[in-house]
A = this chain, B = another copy of it.
């Protein structure tokens, strides 16, 4: 049990309000009158969630995007957000961060409502938090609803951001679609709102296809077989499509596509790629080119 897991156990004892959902989901659901608010908060730490060499505008964009992605997975409409910002000591850097954050917020009609700005001691890693509030537009999907017979889908290819991170780590000036996938993820808000009334289960792909699918299967009490790992043309061009590359793509985090299930025979209302199927039982199975492949030791990004 990781340090974070033990800590979460403590937090769950405290978070006993129904809106907290036992801290088992990525969001809280708070009823206010006839409205159901969706609450989420994500922190990005220098050297942990982004590279110190990443452009500040991209770090600001990504902080907005990862929070918006949590709202997308609930089919929620953005309502407002609060920013906790650690000054860098470099005004141009701070201005670029806010420009990138603002670009992502504007693009997704997410108002900035407040927050707090602090100075950190010198030489300290900086961290940024955004707390995002959304409003449910209809049924709120969870990761718990996958049913035997459902098909598992993603809204786009996986693994680009993982390769993009490798490229950016090797060369801070690297560019192209893979680096963009890592630095400028696109939250699937429109897709999420269209999918929410139809998906039996839904979550965003933040930690990797394998580990997030495993979590969905565990939460739903079902077995899931992944039988297709969709790669982008850019990824295939850079790395090919060997079994090792496919497994690496399925373990890579930061994709922020939506992962969802729908009953077989229903067509998803958005562009989506079938990647597997749900059956009775338990456990995650990975098939590549029609053959079962042993799961890697580490399925994806595990926090803490």
Contact = CB atoms under 8 A, between A and B. Distances in A.
Interface of A: 3-4, 6-8, 10-11, 14-17, 19-20, 23, 27-28, 30, 32-35, 37, 39-43, 45-49, 79-80, 82-87, 89, 91, 94-95, 98, 101-102, 105, 111-121, 123-125, 127, 129, 131, 133, 135, 303-304
10 contacts: A7-B85, A11-B115, A14-B112, A19-B113, A20-B111, A20-B113, A28-B82, A84-B84, A119-B304, A124-B124
Contacts of A91: 3, 6-7
B28 A121 contact: no
Contact of A98 (B14, B43, B94): B14
Nearest to A14: B102
A64 to B, nearest CB: 11
Contact of A94 (B7, B34, B39, B95): B7
Chain B CB within 10 Å, residue with most, of A33, A85, A123, A127:
A127
A210 to B, nearest CB: 22
Chain B CB within 10 Å, residue with most, of A4, A15, A45, A48:
A15
B114 A23 contact: yes
Chain B CB within 10 Å, residue with most, of A101, A114, A123:
A114
Number of identical monomers bound together in the oligomeric complex: 2
A32 B116 CA distance: 23
Closest 5 CB pairs of A and B: A17-B111, A33-B33, A28-B113, A124-B125, A131-B131
A150 B85 CA distance: 37
A120 B49 CA distance: 10
A80 B19 contact: yes
Given A94-B10, A131-B131, A15 B87 contact: no
A114 B304 contact: no
A84 B33 contact: no
Nearest to A37: B32
A256 B135 CA distance: 33
A80 B41 contact: no
A197 to B, nearest CB: 22
B23 A118 contact: no
Given A10-B95, A14-B102, A87-B4, A113 B39 contact: yes
Contacts of A84: 41, 43, 84, 129, 131
Given A11-B112, A15-B114, A304 B131 contact: no
Contact of A41 (B10, B15, B116, B120): B116
A125 B41 CA distance: 20
A39 B101 CA distance: 20
B116 A121 contact: no
